[in-house]
Chain A
Amino acid sequence: MDTFIAVLSRIAKAVLTLLAIAVLNFFLLHAAPGDPAVVLAGEAGAADEQMIAQLRERFGLDQPFYVQLGKYVWGIMQFDLGYSFRQGMPVSQLIMERLPATLILTLTAFFISLGMGIWLGVAASARVGRASDSLLTTLALLFYATPLYWAALMAVLVFSVWLGWLPAFGFETVGANYTGLARVLDIAKHLVLPALTLGLFFMAVYMRMTRASMLEVSQMDFVKTAKAKGLGGAAIRRRHILRNAILPVVTLAGLQAGQLVGGAVLTETVFAWPGIGRLMFESLAARDYNTILGVFIVSAAMVILFNIITDIVYRIVDPRIGARS
C-alpha cells in the first residue's frame, strides 16, 4: 500500500516534470542559431525570400513565440507530439518507427552489461588480490577508459574488415528479405558488435562497483555472524553479501536504463543502426524542432519511468526502505 501511494505521488510529480522539460527544451532549441526553414532552403542550394517565407508559414514559425510554445504544450497535454515538416509525417510515427531498433540494441547491451558486470564483480571480489582479480580489474579499467567511438571502430576493423566474421554495420542484410528465424538470426549477427561496444563500458562500471561494494560489505559484522553460523562461502556471498552490496549497482542500472532511448547516439552512428539516437542527432542538425522535442520528451519519460522502477526495486531488494518512509 505504501509502495502504491509512493508510486502515485511520483507519477503526479513526473507529469509536472515532463511539462517543465518540454518548456525548457522548447526555449533551448529556439535559442540555437538558425531554424528549419533556413536549413531546408540552404540544402536546396538556392532560396529567395518567397521560399523562406512559405516554409516559415508552413512550419508555423511566423507566429509569435508564445503562440508557438502554447500550441506545443497544449499538444503535449493531449499526447500529440506534433508533425515533422522535414520528414513529412507525425513525430509519434517517426519515433515509433525508430524505437524498436534502439530498444533491441540498448536492452541487449543493458542485460549483457548488467549480468556480466555483476557476475564478474562477484567473481573478482571472491579472488581479491589474486592474479585473476588483477586481470579482471585491469580489463575493466581499460573498457571503462576507452572512448566508445574508438572501441567501435576498432571492433569493426578487427571483426569485420580483417576477420570478416561479423557484419560491420546495419540492422539486417539489406535486400535479403529473410523471414522468421532466419531474420532473427540475421539481426542477431548485426547486433553483436554494436551491443558489445555499447555494453562494455557499463559492464566495466558494474563490475568495479559490484566488486568494491562486495568487499566493503564482506567486512561487516553480519557476515562474520553468518560465517560463525557455519554457512558456506558461496551461500554467504550470494544471500548475504551480494544482496546488501547490490543497492549501488541498482542505482546505476536505473541511470543506464534511463538512457535506453537516447543514449546510443554514437553507437548508432558508427554502426549505421537505424535507431532513435540518430534521429535525434540528425533532427538537431536540421533544427527539426518538433521531432527533437518529441525524442526529448520520450527520453525524459523513460528516465522518469526507470527512476520509479528503480525505487520499486530498492524496496524489493531492501525492504527497510519502504518501512522507513
Chain B
Amino acid sequence: MNFLKTTTFLVAAALAAPLAAQQDGGRLDIVVQPEPPGLMLGLVQNGPTQMVAGDIYEGLLRYDTDLNPMPGLAESWTISDDGLTYTFKLHDGVKWHDGEDFTADDVVFSADVFLRETHARLRASLAYVDTITAIDPLTVEFKLKEPFGPFISVFETGTMPIVPKHLYEGTDYATNEANATPIGTGPFKFDKWEKGSFIHLVKNEDYYVEGLPHLDEVYYRVIPDAASRAVAFETGEVDVLPGGSVENWDVPRLTAMDGVCSTGKGWEFFAPHAWMWMNNREGPTANQKFRQAVMYALDRDFMKDVVWNGFGNVATGPVSSKTNFYSDDVTIYDHNPDKAKALLAEMGYDGEPVRVLPLPYGETWQRWAEAVRQNLAEVGINVEIDSTDVAGWNEKTANWDYDLAFTYLYQYGDPALGVSRNYTADRIKKGSPWNNVEGYENPELDAKWAKAATLVSADERTALYAEIQKEIVDDVPVAWLMELEFPTIYRCNIHDLVTTGIGVNDGPRNAWIEE
C-alpha cells in the first residue's frame, strides 16, 4: 500500500514538474558498526571496512541491482569469445588522492602482486588467471588458463580494490605507514579517524566523473550500542542506518517516523544467505533422514515474520533467488512436524542431544537460535544452545566442534564465487569457517560444480546449476534458513543513496541531499 502511494506520488510529481536538479553540498552522517580494524581495503575486507573504504578505493567495475557490470575505473571492457581474454579500457585522467596519475600499472600491481598476497577470496579466483598485462597506460588485459564463468564478477571494490603502486611496491604491506592514511581514486578522500568516535571523509574535488560526488563530506560514526544507534537516528545525529546497524524490532518504529525511508536494495551482489551447518561427520546430523527432519521441523515463515520482522525470504536451497542461476525446481521443505517425526522414527533417533551454536552477532541471532530450539523440541529433538563470542564461534566452527551452527555467507553474484565453496569436498579444510564446514562429500556433484564454473555459455551454466540445486536440496547438507535482507534506513531527503547491487559500499558516490 505504501509502495502504491509512493509510486502514485512519484508519477504525479514527475508529470507536474521536471525532476528536481541534483543539489551539491551537504554532509552525511552514517553509522558504521562495528568500528573497522583498518581502512586499507587491500589488507582488510570485513564488512565495515568495505563500507567506509568503498568510498575511498575503487574497483574496475561496479554492478547494478541485476548484477550486470557497470563502469568503474574501467570505462569499457571486452571478453573474447573463448572466454579467456578480458580487456579493460581505463578511464582517462584518473588521479590518486595524492595527485599521482592512475595507470594500468596500478591495476597490474594490485591484481597480480599485492592482492595475490593479501586477499584470500580473490586468490581463489586468480588461480584461473594466467597473465595480467598492461597493454598501454590505459589498457589492461587478463588472460585466463581456462574459462571461468564468474570472472566478470570479481572486479568490484571489495573483491579487487585497486591500490596505489607508487606507495606499496617493494614495501611490507602490513606495516606500510600509508595504511593509516588510505590513498585511493574514489569519490571521497580520507581526512581523519578519531578512533572510537568517527571517520571523516571529504569530497574528492578531482573525481573523474563529471559532477560527482555531490556531498561535501561524509562522517562514519562509531556508536557501539544498538539502542544508542537507534536513538542517534531518532535525534537526528545520524542520517543513515546501514543494514544491520539496529536490532530488527527497532526497524518498524524508526521507519514509521516522519520523513524516514528504507530500502532492502543494495545487497544484491552480496545476497547474504543464512543457514545452519549440520555436522555431516558424526552424531545424529550425520544421518540424511535426521537432516531432512530438521528441515521439516523448522517453521521458517515464523522465523522470517517474527525474528526478522518480515524482512527477507525463506531460502529454498543453496543459491539465493536474488542472484543469477537460481532455480526453484527443488523439493520444498514446508513446516511439517508430523513428517519430521516420521523421519526421526524411521531413522531410530534415540534422543541424543544436539548442540546448536548461534551466531554471536546480537540479540536477533540469539532469538533465532531459541526459535530453532523450540521447533526442534516440538518434534522431539533435544537441543542444547552453546553460546560463545565471535572468536569462540570462529574457533568452534573452524574445528568442527558443533552439531548445528548458524552462519550466513555472501554469494558474490555467482555460485562459483560464493556458493560452491561451502559444498565441494576440496573445500573441507579445518582451521577456517568459510568453507565446507559441514563436511559434505558428494563426488558426483563436485564434478558438476567444477564444470559449471568453467563453462562459457550462460545457458549451459544455468542448466547445470539447476541440476545441482535439485540434487543437493534432497541431500540437505545444511539447513537453509533465509535469504537475509538488511534494510537501509535513511531520511527521505537523501536521494540516490542506493543505486547499485553493491550499494551498501558505494552509496555516497551518487547520493545528494535535497534542501
Contact = CB atoms under 8 A, between A and B. Distances in A.
A272 B224 contact: yes
A48 B433 contact: no
Given A43-B46, A285-B391, A48 B124 contact: yes
Contacts of B223: 169-170, 272
A86 interface: yes
B339 to A, nearest CB: 35
A33 B388 contact: yes
Nearest to A149: B225
Interface size class of chain B, counting residues whose CB lies under 8 Å from the partner chain: 35 or more
Contacts of B46: 43-45
Given A174-B221, A270-B228, A286 B391 contact: yes
B27 interface: yes
Interface in B21-55: 27, 29, 34-35, 37-38, 44-47
A257 to B, nearest CB: 23
Contacts of B433: 42, 47
A88 B45 contact: no
Interface residues of A, number: 56
A219 interface: no
B219 interface: yes
B196 A98 contact: yes
B179 A161 contact: no
A34 B409 contact: no
A269 B38 contact: no
B143 interface: no
Interface in A12-57: 32-35, 38-52
A80 interface: no
A256 interface: no
A48 B434 CA distance: 8
Interface in B199-244: 200, 217, 219, 221-225, 227-228, 231-232, 234-235, 237
Nearest to B46: A43
A35 B391 contact: yes
A171 B237 CA distance: 13
Contacts, number: 160
Nearest to B398: A38
Of A51, A85, A167, which is in contact with the most chain B CB atoms at under 10 Å from its CB? A51
Contacts of B410: 45
B165 interface: no
Contact of B434 (A46, A97, A98): A46
B395 interface: yes
Interface string B423-443: 000000101111000000000
B78 interface: no
Interface string A269-288: 11111110011001001110
B180 interface: yes
A44 B196 contact: no
Interface string A138-168: 0000000000000001001100110010011
Interface string A94-114: 100110010000000000000
Contacts of B38: 86-88
Nearest to A36: B391
Nearest to B122: A46
A175 interface: yes
Contacts of A45: 45-47, 121, 409-410, 434
B395 A156 contact: no
A274 B194 contact: yes
A285 B389 contact: yes
B179 A271 contact: no
A170 B198 CA distance: 10
Nearest to A164: B235
Given A44-B121, A174-B221, A272 B197 contact: yes
Given A34-B394, A34-B395, A286-B391, A275 B120 contact: no
A272 B409 contact: no
Contact of A282 (B35, B198, B432): B35
Interface string B379-394: 0000000001111111
A269 B392 contact: no
B197 A285 contact: no
Contacts of A183: none
A315 interface: no
A269 B224 contact: yes
Contact of A49 (B196, B389, B390, B429): B429
Contacts of A157: 231
Nearest to B396: A33
A168 B232 contact: yes
Interface in B153-186: 174-175, 179-180
A161 B395 contact: no
Given A174-B29, A175-B217, A44 B231 contact: no
A71 interface: no
B195 interface: yes
Of A44, A160, A270, which is in contact with the most chain B CB atoms at under 10 Å from its CB? A44
Contacts of B389: 285
Contact of A285 (B29, B198, B390): B390
Interface in A155-199: 156-157, 160-161, 164, 167-171, 174-175
B233 to A, nearest CB: 11
B123 A168 contact: no
Given A34-B392, A42-B394, A47 B27 contact: no
A75 B499 CA distance: 51
B180 A88 contact: yes
B395 A38 contact: yes
Contacts of B222: 272, 274
A171 to B, nearest CB: 6
A238 interface: no
B197 A274 contact: yes
Contacts of A224: none
Contact of A161 (B29, B198, B231, B388): B231
B391 A168 contact: no
B174 A58 contact: yes
B232 A169 contact: yes
A86 B396 CA distance: 21
Contact of A86 (B37, B179, B180): B37
Given A45-B409, A87-B195, 10 more contacts: A34-B390, A38-B391, A89-B180, A98-B196, A153-B227, A171-B197, A175-B219, A272-B197, A272-B221, A272-B222
16 contacts: A35-B391, A35-B395, A38-B394, A39-B394, A45-B409, A48-B429, A48-B432, A50-B120, A94-B195, A101-B196, A160-B235, A161-B234, A168-B232, A274-B222, A275-B196, A286-B391
The 3 closest A-B pairs by CB, nearest first: A34-B391, A274-B196, A43-B46
